[in-house]
A = this chain, B = another copy of it.
Amino acid sequence: MRVSTRFSDSIHILAFIEIYQEKKLSSELIANSIETSPVVVRRLMSTLRGAGLIATKKGTAEPKLAKESKQITLLDVYLAVEKDRQLFTLDTNTNPECIVGGNIQKVLGAYYEDAKMAALRKFNNVSLQDIIESILVEQKIKQAKE
């Protein structure tokens, strides 16, 4: 399948909103930074709004974060747009009559959950504020090189 960039693009949107909060922020302008279409941006923003991460007004190009950037973690964003889906995919169609096929899903599922939890815990320790600060630092590094 096509690989989902929802998580990355959502963080992009949130960082963009916060960094350019004084400006008029249409979905088209944001789409320009992500290099995608305005509808894709609005679709993601709709999800982020549903998860209580941003606040928007219909007809008005003024999206705001619904919480402080320090209070939004990468995990919040991940769960908003990817839900709690499997990170490593079990084959859920194995032969239940077979010793291996009949038990591997439960066994592997437990180890997969364990690995997923380890990854998501990392995301729970990174805030949107961290991302924004890092972006601004990288930008200064770039400029210092010129």
Given A15-B100, A91-B12, A118-B118, CB of A111 within 8 Å of CB of B74: yes
Q: How large is the interface on A (under 10, 10 to 19, 20 to 34, 35 or more residues)?
A: 35 or more
A3 at the interface (CB under 8 A from B): yes
A60 at the interface (CB under 8 A from B): no
> Which parts of A79-110 form the interface with B (CB within 8 Å)?
87-91, 93-95, 98-104, 106-108, 110
Q: When the two chains form their complex, are residues A89 and B4 in contact, meaning their CB atoms are under 8 A apart?
A: yes
Given A118-B118, A119-B87, CB of A99 within 8 Å of CB of B1: no
The answer for the CA separation of A35 and B131 in the assembled complex, in Å, is 44
Q: When the two chains form their complex, are residues B1 and A100 in contact, meaning their CB atoms are under 8 A apart?
A: no
14 A-B contact pairs sorted by A residue (CB < 8 Å): A3-B89, A11-B108, A19-B100, A33-B100, A34-B95, A87-B119, A88-B119, A100-B135, A103-B134, A106-B138, A111-B122, A115-B119, A118-B119, A119-B119
**Chain A residues in the interface with B (C-beta under 8 A):** 1-5, 7-9, 11-12, 15-16, 19, 32-35, 74, 87-91, 93-95, 98-104, 106-108, 110-111, 114-116, 118-123, 126, 131, 134-136, 138-139, 142
